[in-house]
Each structure stands twice: as structure tokens, then as C-alpha cells.
Structure 1
Amino acid sequence: MASAGGNRNAKNQPMGPDGREWSNGICDCCNEPGTCIKAWCCPCIVYASNKQRLEHLERNGAPDPEHGGGCCSGPCCLHASILLCFGAGFVLQFLHRGDTRKRYNIKGGMCGDCCTSFWCSPCDLTQEHQEIELEEKSFGGR
């Protein structure tokens, strides 16, 4: 059973009836150049890290002590395979983006998630990374 977790709105974004905005804009990926570059060069690693960190928060109500694990995880290999064979790693990303939006009560829908993941893949991955990291930092020690 998952516990409450950390602060899911660390920047205190205004909350409307349909949710709130992302804590960082899609073009704020430059604020985190290391993650952004990794998302450009090896999106499978950032995708897998985001997925593992979010799942750990949901399952345990605490940050992942491995901070997303290594690059040989199942989600990483799956993303890399789909990306290399079909050029469609964005499909996994857009599904995960919906999970991230749901956890943080962020406005949006599947169509927007798909377009963002397809057209702005590295920015999408970096934005999700930043949102998850804000909750992790709310626990202190990171």
C-alpha cells in the first residue's frame, strides 16, 4: 500500500477544477542541461529513470534510493528497442506522461501528451524529471 508521499505541488501552482500547470514549462529543459542532453542522446535512460522513480514514489511514498537505477532496466531496454526498431519511443513516453500528470494533478489530456512526446521528446522527458524531482526534494536530503 502506498503512503502519501511528498509535496506534489512544491511550487504552489494555482489549482483549478481541472488541475494545475506543470511546475516547469516545456521549454525550461535548459534549466537542467545534464538531463536535457541525456534525453537527447539516450532518451531510453531518462524514460526508465522517470518511470522507476515515479513508480517507487507511488509504491513506497518515498524517493527511490537508486534514483532511477541503471541503464539496463526492463523499461530502458523496451524504450530503446521500440525507438531503434520503429522510431516510436515517444509512445511509451506519452503513456508515462499521463501517469505523471495524474499523480501531480496536472491539466492536460492524451492528445497533448502524445503531441508533446512526439514533437518535443527530450523536453517532455526533462519536464517530467523536474516534476518528479520536486516531490523527491520535498522529503529533504536530495
Structure 2
Amino acid sequence: MRQISEGLWTTGLCDCWEDPSNCFVTMFCPCITLGRNSEIINRGEMLCRKATHLHIATGVLLFGWIFGWSNRKTLRQHFSLPETPFPDCCSHVFCMWCALCQEHRELQNRGADPFLGWERNVEKWRKDGLTPPIVVPQMVR
């Protein structure tokens, strides 16, 4: 497993070929990768199917970047990642496919499997006795 440095991305924006299968899925249907990532990033509040449809409805190439930009910002906040090499909006406007692949790899490298979805990841973490990499906020009094 890759060494994870706190506050740094585990892979570069253009390292898409580190995960060829996800690279191909993202190349031909970015809405699927966005949906999978979104379900994990948003802690199950937006299911993969709903995120995928939202991305298609907003126009993958016209306005879909807004949704991707929001997800990238949230992902960075979860793991205290820098907004590099470009601002989030630029990453999704000019390099949407690369940004989605990088976000997918980041989730995997930090212990979440976007293919499983949020609920199945939570079950897996509980079964394995692991602390979830993306903490679910608890209600406080």
C-alpha cells in the first residue's frame, strides 16, 4: 500500500493510468465515476445513481463541472488536501477526466472503495474494526 502523507494527494492529477480500468470507465462515461465518488464523498447522502443522473442532467461537458468542483472541494476538506496543481474549478473545467480519476484513486488509497458505495464501505469498516477514513459527523448536545 502507498505511503500516505497527511495533507498531500497520494497521486498526481495526470496519473490516470495507475488505475487503467477506472481510467477507461471515466474516459467513456465520466458520470459513472462522478456518481461513485460522490456517494463516498457525501457520506451516502447522495447515492451513486442520483449523482450520476444529476451529472448527466446538468450536461456533462457544459455544467457538470460545477458538481465535480463541489465534490472535489469536499474531498479536499475531508483529507486536508491542498488545492493543487490548479484551483478546483479549473481542474474540473479543463481536466475533468483526470480530476475524477485522481479523486477516485484518492478515495481508494485512503481506504474507501467507490465501487462498493457508502453503506457497503461502512459495513466493511465495521467488520474489519477500522476507523472510517471519512468520519460521519455525530450529533452533539
Same fold, TM-score > 0.5, yes or no: yes
- More deviation in 118-127 or 129-138? 129-138
CA distance in 1, matches of 2:28, 2:71: 19
Contact kept? 2:32, 2:52, Cα under 8 Å = yes
Give TM-score scaled by structure 2 length: 0.69
Give the 3-state SS of the residue equivalent to 1:26 in structure 2.
Answer: coil
Counterpart in the other structure of 1:44 = 31
For structure 1, list consecutive stretches of 5 or more residues without a partner in the other structure.
Answer: 1-9, 60-67
- Answering whether residue 92 of structure 2 is matched by residue 117 of structure 1, we say yes
CA distance in 2, matches of 1:48, 1:11: 27
CA RMSD between the two structures: 2.7
CA distance in 2, matches of 1:115, 1:69: 25
Contact kept? 2:91, 2:99, Cα under 8 Å = yes
Alignment-mate amino acid for residue 58 of structure 2: I
Identical counterparts, % of pairs: 24
The number of equivalent residue pairs is 113
Counterpart in the other structure of 1:54 = 41
For structure 2, list consecutive stretches of 5 or more residues without a partner in the other structure.
Answer: 114-124, 129-141
Counterpart in the other structure of 2:67 = 92
Give TM-score scaled by structure 1 length: 0.69
Alignment-mate amino acid for residue 23 of structure 2: C
Contact kept? 2:8, 2:82, Cα under 8 Å = yes
